[in-house]
Structures are given as structure tokens and as C-alpha cells.
Amino acid sequence: MTTIFEELRADHDKQRTLLDLLVKTEGDSEGRKELFEQIKAAMHHHETAEERYFYSPLMDYDSGVEKSRHGIAEHHEMDEVMEQMDETDFSSPGWLSLAKKLRDMALHHFEDEENHYFISAGQKFSDDDKTRLASEYRSEMERLAS
């Protein structure tokens, strides 16, 4: 059975790939629009499920409150960049700048989680918690995708 950390890392890897592909797109192409829609959906679903099944349980611990607040704030900041991208013409150089900003923000966020937050949470969550949260996270991701 997988842990919450493995589930989150797998989704981070998918988002890294999508974001890398996005910043290589050009102009007002169908591919750029389609890829951006995939990324928005993937990130929104991931943020929602992660906040429920990683950050919320982490807040049960005093040392996890600040980490959770910071991670959730970064989700909000990425959402704001995606909203700006929605309001910017796909063929604009500004759109590509925003896409690169989003990628950089996401990579920073994933790195914080994987190299710091997961270690801290791993010391707090029991083995049962880790597998239960993984199952609940994956179920939520499936529900949100349907």
C-alpha cells in the first residue's frame, strides 16, 4: 500500500511534466490551450485533495501549523497566476512569462513539500495514518476528476 507522500510525489511528477511542456508551447495554439486546461484541472484537484488529506491533518501538530499555512498560501498564489493567465491572450509574450512564473512557483512548492514538509509529517503521522491518508487522497482525486 502507498503512503500519502508517494501519492503526492506522483502527482507532483505529473504536474512537473505538464508544466515543462507548457512553457515550450508557442502562440495561440490549440495545444497550448488544451495543455493549460489540463494543468489547471490537475493543480486545482491536487490542491483541494492535498489541503484536505495532508495539510489539514498536519495542522493537528503545533509544528505543522505554520508549514500548512505556508503551503496553502502558495496554492492561493499559484491560483492567482492561473487566473492572470486566463485573462491574458494566449499569443501574448506576457502569457508565456506567466506560464514560466507558474512553473517556477510550483517547482519551489513541490521542493518545499518533498524536502521539508514530508519529512516533518513523516515523523508525526503513524504508518496507518500515512496509508489511510493516501487512500483518502486518491479517492478524492478520482472524485474531483469525474
pLDDT in tens, 15-69: 999 999 999 988 878 889 999 999 999 999 999 999 999 999 999 999 999 999 9
| pTM, rounded to two decimals | 0.93
Chain center to CA of 117: 14
Q: What are phi and psi of 140, to 5 degrees?
A: -65, -40
**Cell triple for 119:** 519529512
| CA-CA-CA-CA dihedral for 6, 8, 11, 16, to nearest 10 | -100
Q: Where are the domains of the chain?
A: 4-145
Cβ-based neighbours of 104, under 8 Å, separated by 6 or more: none
